[in-house]
Structure 1
C-alpha cells in the first residue's frame, strides 16, 4: 500500500467562533474539536503519519487535547494558512510519503469513507472533495444589483481533506514561496496556479467546518441526538494501609504519605472506583472481571491502564463519557493541594475536559476504620452516552 500522510492545519485563532480559546480547542460533546479531527485520521489504517501544524502559543493546549494519540510532534505554522501547510509539508519531507492529505482541524466529522475517497483520488495527482450547489447563485455589483446568474450545474463548494501527490504539492509550495505568493486560500488554488490539474471527488454534507457560534451549537445538538442513550454507573473501592511505605496513588497521582496501600495493582482506589463506574454504565461487569486479582500480570500494575481500558470499551460501542465524579474518604493524607492534579490526570486518561471531572475529598470524622486511619475509600459515578440500539 502506498504510504499516505496527513497535514492537519490548526494554527488559526478562530475568533468568529467566540469563546476565549481558539475554536479547534473548544469542546463539543465533551471532547476538543482537534482531538475529534485527529482521531478520524489516527483510526484510519491507510494513513501512516499525521503531522499537526499549530500556533506557537498553543503548545500546552495541543498537548492536552492530543494526549495519547499517535501523531507526530507538532510543527509551528506561519502567519497564513498557506505558510502553515508549507511548514507541515517540510516537516513530513524526511518521511517521503507518496500521498498527502491536507485537512482543517476545524472539520472534525470526516468519515472513514471520505478519507478512503481522498486517498484513492490523491493517487491521480491532485483532487479535492466537493458538493453540488443546490441553491441558485447570483453575481451582484457594488450597488447590490444582480448582474449574472451562474450555471449551478458547474459549481461546487469544496472541503478538506484535499489530496495530492506529496512531491508535487511540496514543489508547488516551494515555488510559490520563492515567488513571494502567500495569498492562496487553499491548496487546490495553489496547485492550479502551479499548473497541476485538480479533480473533484464526492464530499460529504456532514463534513462541516466549525466557524461560528451557531456551527458549534448545531454540532453539539447533533452529537447529543446521536448519543441519546444516557447511562449512569457507580463504583466503590476500598483498600487498607500497609504498615510501611512512603506514598499512595490516588487518581493517577503519586502522593507522599508515611504508609502505602495494600493491593494487587498500585491500589489506586480512585481509579478503581471509576473503572467500576464506567463498566457499570456499560453493564459489562466490574474491574475484577476484566483484570482478575488472581492473575499475576496485574501485580503492581499502574491503574491508569485499567481506566484507559474502560474508556476504550465505551468508544468501542460508539459512545462517549460525558462526566465523571469522585469522592475520596480518608483521614490522611490530606488531599486539598492535590485536587487539581488529580482532576487533570483523570481528564487526561478519560479524554475529557477538566470541567467534566468532579472531585471531593472528605474524612469520616474519625469514625470507623477510616477514622482509625486503617484505610481509605473512593466512590465514583460516570455518565456515559451511547447510541440508541434496538432492544
Structure 2
C-alpha cells in the first residue's frame, strides 16, 4: 500500500468496570501473558506491514505506564510509535486530539482502535485497508448478532428482529481528512456526543462499509473479560494468522537449529535475547551482537530452509552496523507468516562462564516471548558452562544454540 496509513490507539480510559485488581491499574496496563494489554495491542498493529505509524492517546497520569508498555515491544515496532498524546474527558475528545496530532504528517488513512482490544488479527486490519483503498469513506469492523435479542418494555419483554444487526468492534477506519472534519463539526455542537467514530459517519450520512470482525477481537471491560484474555494469550500467539488460528491445522512440522558466537570486547553490558545484562565487557559484532536472537533467527530460517542470517543481513552492509537484533528475528518471523505458518516453540542454550544467566533467565524468556508473539510457556532459556574448556571456558566470548519448532501448512509445491 503506497498511501501513508496510521493507527490511532485510544487508551486514555481508566477502566472503572475493572476495579477489582489489587494494583487498580487501568485495564489497558494489566498484564496478560508476557506483556500488558496495551503492549499486545500496539504489537498487533505494528506488525502489519501497511501501517506506517501508530499514535496512542493516553491519560495524563499514565506516562510511566505507557513507556513500560512501549519497552515491551520489539525495537522495530517501537519505531512506529509516536510519543503519546494526552486524551480528553470523553472518548470523543481523546480521538479528536489524536486526529489533530496526525494532521499534517502526510497520513491519508487512519484506523481508530481500542487499546483494550489486544487480539485484532492481521486479516481484520487488511480488510479495513482494502475497503479504504476501494473508496470507502468509513469502515466498521463488526460481527453479526447471532443471539436472540430481547427488549424490556413497561409491558414485559419483546423480541427484536436480529436480521441486519451487527455488534460493533474496532478498528473503525476512515480517510483522515474526513473523520477529522466530522470531529471538528461535532465539537462545534455542544449537545452532540458519540460513543464511537462510526456514529459521526452516520451523522454525516456517509456510506459505511462493513469489515467482518471476529469474536476473538473482544474488548476487555470486566474481570471476566480479563480472565478470558489471559486464557486466550496462553492458548495462542498474540497475532492471529488465519480464521482457525490453530496449531493443529498446520500439519507440516519443521525443526530448525541455530548457532552463534561472539567474542568479548571492552564494555559495560552484554545484550542477550534483547535484554541488557550488566557485565565487565560487551560482545563484539557488526550489529548489537545478540547471540541469543541471532541463533533463534538462524533456527527459524533453518526450519524454512531459507538460508541463514548472513544471507539476509550481510555483515558487509553498513546499514546493519549497531542494529538491534530483534529486527532480524522479526524478519524471520514475517517469513514464517508469509508461508501461512507459526513458530510453536523456541529452545535456547547459552554457553558462557560469565555473566551468570540464572538471575536473568525469566527476563530473557519474557523478551523472546514478546518478540515472537508466543506465550512464555513456549519459550525455554537454559544456560551452561563449558567446564572452563575452549574459548568460552577462557571467558573470551559467548556461544548460543537454539532450536525452533515451526508449524506450516502442507504445500505440494515445496521441493
TM-score tier, shorter chain, comes to 0.7 to 0.9
Aligned in 2, Cα 1:77/1:366: closer, same or farther, shift over 3 Å? same
1:238-268 Cα offsets, whole Å, 9 max, x none, are 4566xx745674525475446x767777655
Match of 1:61 in 2: 69
1:364 equivalenced with 2:386 (yes/no): yes
After TM superposition, the structure 1 = structure 2 runs for residues 260-299 of structure 1, keeping only pairs within 5 Å, are: 268-287=290-309, 290=312
| C-alpha distance in structure 1 between counterparts of 2:390 and 2:53, whole Å | 55
Compute the displacement of 1:210 (Å): 1.6
Per the alignment, do residues 62 and 379 of structure 1 end up closer, same or farther by CA in structure 2, a change over 3 Å counting?
A: same
Match of 2:408 among 377, 383, 386: 386
2:260 maps to which residue?
237
Indicate which of 64, 78, 82 corresponds to 1:72.
82
Question: What SS is found at the alignment partner of 1:53?
Answer: strand
Tell me which of 186, 192, 205 is aligned to 1:197. 205
Report the Cα distance in structure 2 between the residues aligned to 1:300 and 1:171, rounded to whole angstroms.
44
SS of the residue corresponding to residue 68 of structure 1 reads helix
The answer to whether 1:115 aligns with 2:126 is no
CA distance in structure 2 between the aligned counterparts of 1:154 and 1:378, rounded to whole angstroms: 56
Give the structure 2 partner of residue 7 of structure 1. Answer: 8
1:1-391 correspondence to structure 2 within 5 Å:
5-12=6-13, 22=27, 33-35=40-42, 37-39=44-46, 42-44=48-50, 49-55=53-59, 56=62, 57-65=65-73, 67-69=75-77, 70-95=80-105, 97=107, 99-105=109-115, 106=117, 108-109=120-121, 110-123=124-137, 126=138, 128-129=140-141, 133=145, 137-141=149-153, 145-147=156-158, 149-153=159-163, 155-164=165-174, 166-177=176-187, 179-181=189-191, 183-192=193-202, 195-206=203-214, 208-211=216-219, 212=225, 213-214=227-228, 217=231, 220=235, 222-225=244-247, 227=250, 229-238=252-261, 245-246=266-267, 249-251=270-272, 253=276, 256-257=279-280, 268-287=290-309, 290=312, 302=323, 304=325, 306-335=328-357, 346=368, 350=372, 357-367=379-389, 370-373=392-395, 375-390=397-412
Distance 1:86 1:381 in 2: 47
SS at match of 1:223: coil
Query: Following the alignment from structure 2 to structure 1, what is the Cα–Cα distance between the partners of residues 286 and 175?
Result: 53
Instruction: Report the CA distance shift for 1:359/1:279 in structure 2 as closer, same or farther (over 3 A).
Output: same
1:142-162 deviations in whole A, cap 9, x for unaligned?
67x224x44444544434333
Q: CA deviation at 1:197?
A: 0.6
Query: CA–CA distance in 2 between the matches of 1:361 and 1:257?
Result: 19
Compare CA radii of gyration and give the structure with the larger one.
Answer: 1
Once the two structures are TM-superposed, the CA of residue 92 in structure 1 deviates from its matched residue by: 1.7
After TM superposition, give the deviation of residue 204 of structure 1 in Å. 0.9
Most deviating of 344-353 and 80-89: 344-353
Q: Alpha-carbon deviation of 1:108?
A: 0.5
Checking the alignment, whether the CA contact within 8 Å between 2:151 and 2:160 is kept in structure 1 is yes
| In structure 2, C-alpha distance between the alignment counterparts of 1:153 and 1:299, rounded to whole Å | 55
Contact 2:257 2:300 in 1 (8 A): yes
- SS of the residue aligned with 2:195? coil
| Mapped partners of 1:114, 1:176: distance in 2 | 24
Give the alignment's TM-score, normalised by structure 1.
Answer: 0.73
Change (3 A) 1:122 1:207: farther
Cα distance change on mapping 1:319 and 1:29 into 2, 3 Å = farther
CA RMSD of aligned residues (A): 4.5
Name the SS for the 2:346 alignment partner: strand
What are the Cα deviations for residues 53-98 of structure 1, in whole angstroms up to 9, with x where unaligned?
3342333213424742324333233443223212211212333755
Q: Is the 8 A contact 1:328 1:378 kept in 2?
A: yes
Structure 2: gaps (5+ residues): 220-224, 237-243
How many equivalent residue pairs?
378
2:342 touches 2:407 (CA, 8 Å); kept in 1? yes
Structure 1 residues 356, 90: closer, same or farther in 2, change over 3 A?
farther
